[in-house]
């Protein structure tokens, strides 16, 4: 199976998981990236079964609207049942690295509002130790150099993702060579650096359910 076929399989598995629980007034939280796109395309076939979506990026919002799915402002919605999104890395505790698509801040906000965060990924994303994928950190543009110096003190090698401006007007530092033994602690440390908008570590609020696409089918893990 190709990586895209694995992504498509987990997108379908997430849809099968939420479909029986959707009601006419349900709102679905939607992530960003190629796996989330497969989910949006699959969800669109059932758009009459629920009210609409909240989106973690302009890109996903556009795709949802192209399918005729209503997209609501998060402020008008409150909490909702499900958030479905991909990841760049996951460990067995369902702690994640996200932000390869630069949508980390909105992804973290929408995930925070959802009762259940369902992460969908192909099995290349499962690692024993987070950090092989450079950790994205979204930063206020004028604080870029300061934040980079502070991250060096934490042992990382930050690289400015040139040419990328996020939906929030932030810029991204991709932090290489971090050994992430304590994801929750590192997430808190990075969050506290002045000028940081968000880090792509999702450990304080990990996924609740992980659906991992393998050549032998979809494996589902749940947080303890």
Q: Which residues are annotated as a binding site for substrate?
A: 32-35, 85-88, 98-101, 125
Residues 204-207: contacts with CB under 8 Å, at least 24 apart: 205/108, 205/111, 205/112, 205/117, 206/93, 206/94, 206/95, 206/96, 206/117, 207/87, 207/90, 207/94, 207/96, 207/117, 207/118, 207/119
Q: Is 104 in the site for ligand 5RP (CB under 6 A)?
A: yes
Determine which residue in the list 18, 102, 190, 218 makes contact with ligand 5RP, applying CB under 6 A: 102
Structure tokens given for 61? 């919002």
In contact, 108 and 144? CB cutoff 8 Å: no
Determine which residue in the list 60, 83, 99, 203 makes contact with ligand 5RP, applying CB under 6 A: 99
Edge-to-edge strands of the sheet including 157-160? 157-160, 171-176, 135-139, 196-199
Residue (107 or 116) nearer to ligand 5RP, CB: 107
Structure tokens given for 207? 């996924």
Print the binding letters for residues 7-46 with ligand 5RP: x by CB under 6 A, - otherwise: ------------------------xxxxx-----------
Q: Is 178 in the site for ligand 5RP (CB under 6 A)?
A: no
Residue (18 or 120) nearer to ligand 5RP, CB: 120
Structure tokens given for 57? 């990026």
Structure tokens given for 66? 């192209």
Contacts (CB under 6 A) with ligand 5RP, residues 135-174 = none
Contacts (CB under 6 A) with ligand 5RP, residues 46-85 = 85
The residues annotated as belonging to the active site are 107
Which residues form the interface with ligand 5RP (CB under 6 A)? 31-35, 85-88, 98-104, 107
């Amino acid at each position: 199976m190709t990586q895209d076929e694995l992504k498509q399989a987990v997108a379908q598995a997430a849809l099968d998981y939420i479909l029986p629980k959707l009601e006419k007034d349900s709102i679905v939280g939607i992530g960003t990236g190629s796996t989330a796109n497969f989910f949006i395309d699959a969800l669109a076939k059932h758009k009459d079964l629920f009210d609409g979506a909240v989106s973690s990026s302009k890109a996903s919002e556009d795709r949802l609207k192209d399918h005729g799915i209503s997209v609501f402002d998060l402020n008008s919605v409150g909490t909702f049942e499900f958030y479905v999104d991909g990841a760049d890395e996951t460990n067995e505790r369902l702690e994640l690295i996200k932000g390869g698509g630069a949508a980390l801040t909105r992804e973290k906000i929408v995930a925070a509002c959802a009762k259940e965060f369902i992460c969908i990924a192909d099995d290349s994303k499962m690692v024993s130790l987070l950090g092989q994928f450079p950790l994205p950190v979204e930063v206020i543009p004028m604080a870029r150099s300061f934040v980079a110096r502070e991250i060096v003190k934490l042992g990382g090698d930050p690289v400015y993702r040139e040419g990328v401006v996020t939906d929030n007007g932030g810029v991204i530092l991709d932090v290489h060579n971090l050994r992430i033994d304590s994801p929750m602690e590192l997430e808190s440390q990075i969050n506290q650096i002045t000028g940081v908008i968000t880090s792509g570590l999702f450990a304080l609020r990990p996924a609740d359910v992980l659906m991992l696409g393998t050549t032998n089918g979809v494996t589902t893990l749940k947080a303890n």
